[in-house]
Amino acid sequence: MPSRRFLLATFCCVMAGALIAQNWSKASAYPSTDLLPQPAGWVPFSADAELIQPGGQKYHGRFLRASDGSTRFTLTPDRSAVPHITIRNVTQVRYYIGANGQWITGPMDLPPGGYKPHKYRASMKGLSPYADKLALTKGGDRSLRAAKGLDAFRYVTRTGTVWLLAPALNYYPVLKVFLDGRRLEFSEIEIGEPDRSQFVPPAGAVLTLSDSVAGIGRVSGAGAPGARTLSTK
């Protein structure tokens, strides 16, 4: 069974941006002149990812998002051939987390009106336009001070965590720098619909079913005692 502590930490790291975005959706209560422009629907894209832990350990991986908001995040530690995978399937309303060929799955709790891109306020505290472009798209040199690339907003949380948000990707945080030293950066970003088969475990995978419900921004109790197992076809 994959390390529950690592898998939950990975899932929460990825979902933190979604949780913050869910809170920002309250922007609809403000005048429309205060809302920042963005694409109407979820922008599908794929990207490489690098997570650096406080002690220097690196994880390399791949992030995918579909036009329904589903995501898949794969991270593999340095000097390891075992990827850790987190899938959030919005259409199925299920999450999947797995490693070593073993998977945990459970239901998700989505907003009543469906999971949609959220609105953002220009006057949001801690949010400001980022002066430079981000060379994080496919073929870019990963410079955060580029003359060409993605536009961005810089967001500083109340605790001092820094995010760089890309409006072209529904304000997805393409860079996260945490106070504990963690750094999560996305590069080789390419807009386009990923293969839908990437948002479910592979055929023949053994799934451990959990009754624990995961919200947009969190998962808890995955793989709890009494969980059931089955195989995908």
pLDDT per residue rounded down to tens, the chain (233 residues): 444 444 444 444 444 444 444 444 444 444 556 899 999 899 999 999 999 999 889 999 999 999 999 999 999 988 778 899 999 999 999 999 998 889 999 999 998 888 998 888 999 999 999 999 999 999 999 999 999 999 999 999 888 999 999 999 999 999 999 999 999 999 999 999 999 999 999 998 989 998 888 765 444 333 333 344 444 54
Q: Output the pLDDT for position 22.
A: 42
The domain that contains 68 carries what CATH number?
2.50.20
Q: Output the pLDDT for position 212.
A: 80
Domain count, the chain: 1
- For residue 212, being part of any structural domain is answered with yes
Residue type, 157: T
Q: Output the pLDDT for position 216.
A: 58
Non-local CB neighbours of 108 within 8 Å, separated by 6+ positions: 88, 89, 90, 93, 94, 95, 213, 214, 215, 216
Strands 153-156 and 58-65: unpaired
- For residue 177, being part of any structural domain is answered with yes
- Report phi then psi at 230, rounded to 5: -160, 170
CB-based contact 224:211 (threshold 8 Å):
yes
Range of the domain at 181: 4-32+44-119+172-231
**189 pairs with which residues across the strands?**
137
Q: Which of 143, 188, 185 is nearest to 164 (CA)?
A: 185
Q: What DSSP state is assigned to residue 192?
A: S
